Amino acid sequence: MRSLSDQLTETLQAAAQHERLVFLCSFQKEESVILDELLKLAPHTRVVTIDTGVLFPETLQTWKKFEEHYGVHIDVEDASNPSNPWTGPEHCCTPLKIAALEHSLGDAEAWVTGIRRDQAETRAHTELIEDDAKRPGVRKYNPLAFWAEKDVWNRIFERNLPYHPLHDQGFASIGCATCTQPGDGRAGRWAGTDKTECGIHVV
């Protein structure tokens, strides 16, 4: 049976064969691990983040650390709405965020995500390589699909990789400052609501 490390490398090697490859980065622990491998195998990858205009200050700091540590420029897709700013779970993840995603993947052949099966029930059947159900002809690579939380942290500490400081304050998953609270898994996202996904990874 292939090790988790081998799964990561082999999945990214397959992704690297695509000339127009996108990595969507939200500066969480999974992205720390993926970038460490991805940029060695596929330096042509376009690394993109979606800026909602209400990111945590710590997210902005981590963004800078990622660019410095990995030597990568991170492109920005603007999903902010100054005239009607996001204020909480009842007003977030607007069509602007989905539009930003669609624009970032506009001419992509494939994209890489940090999805893991144990993050949420909605992700429990994630495969390492999938056809993107929303985008015919586009491949979706999830190199950490079978990794557990402890596996991610082991790699970060083994390689002294930068990571988001809010993870040390009980935030297992980090989104916007207006609607993210500490919690295990994705429990802190849209806390107090039935919402579990922002729409980016929903079929």
Neighbours of 48 (CB within 10 A): 20
Q: What angle do CA 86, 92, 98 make, to 5 degrees?
A: 115
Which among 25, 92, 179, 198 is annotated as catalytic? 198
User: 52 in helix, strand or coil?
Assistant: coil
- Our answer to whether residue 25 is catalytic in this structure is no
Cα–Cα distance between 123 and 120 in angstroms, integer? 5
List, in sequence order, every residue forming a beta bridge with 91; answer none if it has no partner.
88
CB 200 within 8 A of CB 193: no
Q: Where are the alpha helices (DSSP H) in the chain?
A: 4-15, 29-41, 57-70, 95-104, 149-159
Catalytic center residues: 198
